[in-house]
Amino acid sequence: MTRQYDDLLARAQSTLEKTAHKSTQNRLEIPEPQVLWVGNKTILRNYAEYPKLMRRDPDRLLMYLAKELATAASLDADRAIFIGRKDKASFTQLFTRYMIDNVTCPVCGSPDTHIVTESRLHFRVCEACGARSSARVN
Ligand SMILES: [Zn+2]
Protein backbone atom coordinates (compact mmCIF):
# COMPACT_ATOMS: atom_id res chain seq x y z
CA MET A 1 0.00 0.00 0.00
CA THR A 2 2.73 2.42 1.02
CA ARG A 3 4.82 1.42 -1.92
CA GLN A 4 1.96 2.01 -4.31
CA TYR A 5 1.50 5.44 -2.85
CA ASP A 6 5.20 6.22 -3.25
CA ASP A 7 5.08 5.12 -6.86
CA LEU A 8 2.09 7.30 -7.49
CA LEU A 9 3.80 10.24 -5.86
CA ALA A 10 6.96 9.71 -7.86
CA ARG A 11 4.98 9.50 -11.06
CA ALA A 12 3.01 12.64 -10.27
CA GLN A 13 6.22 14.45 -9.41
CA SER A 14 7.86 13.48 -12.68
CA THR A 15 4.79 14.51 -14.69
CA LEU A 16 4.83 17.85 -12.90
CA GLU A 17 8.48 18.38 -13.69
CA LYS A 18 7.93 17.50 -17.33
CA THR A 19 5.03 19.93 -17.57
CA ALA A 20 7.01 22.72 -15.91
CA HIS A 21 9.93 22.07 -18.21
CA LYS A 22 7.70 22.07 -21.26
CA SER A 23 6.07 25.38 -20.47
CA THR A 24 9.43 27.09 -19.94
CA GLN A 25 10.62 25.76 -23.27
CA ASN A 26 7.51 26.98 -25.03
CA ARG A 27 7.50 30.47 -23.63
CA LEU A 28 8.27 33.11 -26.22
CA GLU A 29 11.06 35.53 -25.59
CA ILE A 30 10.10 38.95 -26.86
CA PRO A 31 13.02 40.29 -28.92
CA GLU A 32 14.51 43.60 -27.88
CA PRO A 33 12.99 46.42 -29.97
CA GLN A 34 15.56 48.10 -32.20
CA VAL A 35 14.45 51.69 -32.11
CA LEU A 36 15.83 54.50 -34.22
CA TRP A 37 14.73 58.13 -34.09
CA VAL A 38 14.78 60.18 -37.27
CA GLY A 39 13.39 63.68 -36.90
CA ASN A 40 10.02 63.27 -35.24
CA LYS A 41 9.63 59.70 -36.39
CA THR A 42 10.37 56.46 -34.61
CA ILE A 43 11.59 53.55 -36.68
CA LEU A 44 11.22 50.08 -35.24
CA ARG A 45 13.85 48.29 -37.29
CA ASN A 46 13.03 44.72 -36.30
CA TYR A 47 9.23 45.04 -36.43
CA ALA A 48 8.79 42.05 -38.78
CA GLU A 49 10.18 39.71 -36.12
CA TYR A 50 7.20 40.21 -33.83
CA PRO A 51 4.22 39.20 -35.99
CA LYS A 52 6.33 36.34 -37.35
CA LEU A 53 7.12 35.09 -33.87
CA MET A 54 3.53 35.47 -32.65
CA ARG A 55 2.11 34.20 -35.96
CA ARG A 56 -0.22 37.13 -36.23
CA ASP A 57 -1.11 39.46 -39.08
CA PRO A 58 1.56 42.24 -39.36
CA ASP A 59 -1.02 44.87 -40.31
CA ARG A 60 -3.28 44.00 -37.43
CA LEU A 61 -0.45 44.10 -34.92
CA LEU A 62 0.68 47.44 -36.30
CA MET A 63 -2.86 48.80 -35.99
CA TYR A 64 -2.85 47.72 -32.36
CA LEU A 65 0.46 49.47 -31.68
CA ALA A 66 -0.64 52.66 -33.45
CA LYS A 67 -3.87 52.73 -31.48
CA GLU A 68 -2.17 52.14 -28.13
CA LEU A 69 0.53 54.71 -28.85
CA ALA A 70 -2.12 57.13 -30.15
CA THR A 71 -0.23 57.84 -33.33
CA ALA A 72 -0.04 56.95 -37.02
CA ALA A 73 2.11 54.06 -38.18
CA SER A 74 3.13 52.54 -41.48
CA LEU A 75 5.06 49.53 -42.69
CA ASP A 76 8.26 49.83 -44.68
CA ALA A 77 9.49 46.35 -45.59
CA ASP A 78 10.60 44.82 -42.27
CA ARG A 79 10.41 48.10 -40.41
CA ALA A 80 7.54 49.98 -38.85
CA ILE A 81 7.50 53.75 -38.77
CA PHE A 82 5.64 55.71 -36.10
CA ILE A 83 5.00 59.42 -35.95
CA GLY A 84 6.48 60.95 -32.81
CA ARG A 85 9.24 59.77 -30.51
CA LYS A 86 8.41 56.46 -28.87
CA ASP A 87 10.76 54.70 -26.55
CA LYS A 88 11.90 51.11 -26.48
CA ALA A 89 10.14 50.39 -23.19
CA SER A 90 6.70 51.26 -24.60
CA PHE A 91 7.17 48.75 -27.42
CA THR A 92 8.30 46.02 -25.05
CA GLN A 93 5.31 46.73 -22.83
CA LEU A 94 2.82 46.67 -25.72
CA PHE A 95 4.21 43.49 -27.25
CA THR A 96 4.08 41.83 -23.84
CA ARG A 97 0.47 42.90 -23.36
CA TYR A 98 -0.45 41.73 -26.86
CA MET A 99 1.07 38.35 -26.10
CA ILE A 100 -0.97 38.00 -22.91
CA ASP A 101 -4.23 39.23 -24.46
CA ASN A 102 -4.01 37.54 -27.83
CA VAL A 103 -1.31 34.94 -28.14
CA THR A 104 -0.29 32.93 -25.08
CA CYS A 105 -2.72 30.22 -23.99
CA PRO A 106 -3.94 31.16 -20.47
CA VAL A 107 -4.47 27.49 -19.65
CA CYS A 108 -1.11 25.92 -20.47
CA GLY A 109 1.09 28.92 -21.32
CA SER A 110 1.86 27.76 -24.86
CA PRO A 111 2.37 30.50 -27.49
CA ASP A 112 1.18 28.14 -30.23
CA THR A 113 -2.31 29.48 -30.75
CA HIS A 114 -4.35 30.72 -33.66
CA ILE A 115 -7.33 33.05 -33.84
CA VAL A 116 -10.78 31.93 -34.88
CA THR A 117 -13.66 34.33 -35.37
CA GLU A 118 -17.24 33.33 -34.72
CA SER A 119 -20.20 35.71 -34.75
CA ARG A 120 -17.79 38.64 -34.58
CA LEU A 121 -16.12 37.27 -31.46
CA HIS A 122 -12.47 36.35 -31.51
CA PHE A 123 -11.00 33.34 -29.78
CA ARG A 124 -7.50 31.99 -29.58
CA VAL A 125 -7.36 28.25 -29.92
CA CYS A 126 -4.39 26.53 -28.33
CA GLU A 127 -2.61 24.03 -30.52
CA ALA A 128 -0.94 22.42 -27.50
CA CYS A 129 -3.88 21.75 -25.16
CA GLY A 130 -6.90 22.64 -27.31
CA ALA A 131 -8.23 25.27 -24.91
CA ARG A 132 -10.27 28.08 -26.40
CA SER A 133 -10.00 31.50 -24.80
CA SER A 134 -11.17 34.97 -25.66
CA ALA A 135 -8.84 37.24 -27.62
CA ARG A 136 -8.90 40.99 -27.91
CA VAL A 137 -8.19 41.56 -31.55
CA ASN A 138 -8.81 45.09 -32.78
ZN1 LIG B 1 -3.01 25.59 -24.08
| CA 40 to ligand 1 center in whole angstroms | 41
| CA 62 to ligand 1 center in whole angstroms | 25
Dihedral, 83, 72, 104, 114 alpha carbons, nearest 10: -140
pLDDT digits (tens, 9 = 90+) for 4-59: 777 777 777 666 555 555 554 557 789 999 999 999 999 999 999 999 999 999 99
Fold of 26-134: Defensin A-like (3.30.30)
The residue ranges of every structural domain in the chain are 26-134
- What sign for the dihedral angle of Cα 108, 109, 111, 117? positive
Return d(Cα 25, Cα 19) in angstroms, integer: 10
| CA 82 to ligand 1 center in whole angstroms | 34
pLDDT digits (tens, 9 = 90+) for 78-128: 999 999 999 999 999 999 999 999 999 999 999 999 999 999 999 999 999
Global confidence as pTM: 0.78
Strands (E), 26-102: 35-38, 41-44, 73-76, 79-83
Return d(Cα 38, Cα 84) in angstroms, integer: 9
